[in-house]
């Protein structure tokens, strides 16, 4: 998505330690008008598919998922991160390893909100090592629901998450911007 690549170059930057900062429009401040363009693009990419529900994970996926859900006319359900398993009663759980924080946490989803056979589109802001996305895929499988695919705003294509999810899990992933390389010194390069 050309407009997204331009937005990342214009409003984002690579901080020291080669960290991509897009918190001016994606994951701290949210440019809601631009998220509408993101939502329309996900709809275009999955236009011919039946989608019953959009699944995401707290926190920064929620805004994108809600805006996107308007174009599919479906509800959103978000997995919650927790260290205290099963406090919510009857839930699906999965473990996610956090690269950023060096910890492992559980994600939970109430069984009430994901039923057998439901067709699910997973939406998230980032795909890097793929752990959060694989956790969500795991929840959908536990529910015997059907994963139609995933929609990711920014994929760090130089990490192996995309390959894991596409090849090992056989899930279709549409990423609106795929970063081939990035560094504080040289900036950002995209790939298709």
Q: What are phi and psi of 167, to 5 degrees?
A: -90, -50
DSSP 165: I
DSSP for 46-97, written as a single string: TTTS---EEEEETTTHHHHHHHHHHHHT--EEEEEEESSTTTTSSEEEEEEE
Contact between 185 and its own copies per CB under 8 A:
no
Give the tokens for residue 80. 């919650």
CB of 191 to its own copies, least distance (A): 29
Task: Select from 37, 45, 62, 174 the one that contacts its own copies (CB under 8 A).
Answer: 62
Decide: 118 and 145 in contact? Cβ < 8 Å.
yes
Residue 110 is a binding residue for its own copies (CB under 8 A) = yes
Task: Give the number of residues in contact with its own copies, rule: CB under 8 A.
Answer: 31
- The rounded distance, in Å, linking the Cα atoms of 122 and 120 is 6
With CB under 8 A as the contact rule, the residue among 11, 45, 52, 80 that binds its own copies is 80
Of 11, 63, 119, 164, the residue at the interface with its own copies (CB under 8 A) is: 63
Q: What does the per-residue mask of binding to its own copies show for 13-42, with x meaning CB under 8 A?
A: ----------xxx--xxxxxx-xx------
Which residues contact its own copies by CB under 8 A? 23-25, 28-33, 35-36, 58-60, 62-63, 65-67, 69-70, 73-78, 80, 110, 112-113
């Amino acid at each position: 998505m050309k407009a997204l690549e331009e937005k990342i170059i214009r409003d984002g930057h690579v901080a020291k330690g080669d960290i991509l900062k897009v918190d001016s429009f994606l994951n701290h401040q949210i440019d809601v008008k631009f998220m509408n363009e993101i939502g329309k693009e996900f709809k275009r990419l999955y236009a011919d598919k039946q989608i019953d529900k959009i699944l995401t994970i707290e926190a920064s996926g929620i805004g994108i998922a809600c805006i996107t859900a308007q174009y599919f006319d479906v509800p959103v359900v978000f997995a919650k991160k927790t260290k205290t398993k099963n406090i919510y009663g009857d839930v699906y759980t999965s473990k996610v390893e956090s690269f950023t924080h060096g910890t492992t946490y559980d994600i939970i989803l109430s069984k009430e909100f994901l039923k057998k056979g439901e067709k699910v589109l997973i939406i998230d802001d980032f795909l890097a090592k793929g752990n959060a996305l694989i956790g969500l895929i795991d929840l959908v499988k536990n529910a015997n629901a059907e994963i139609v695919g995933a929609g990711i705003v920014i994929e760090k294509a130089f990490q192996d998450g995309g390959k894991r999810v596409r090849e090992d899990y056989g899930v279709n992933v549409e990423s609106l911007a795929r970063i081939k390389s990035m560094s504080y010194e040289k900036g950002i390069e995209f790939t298709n």
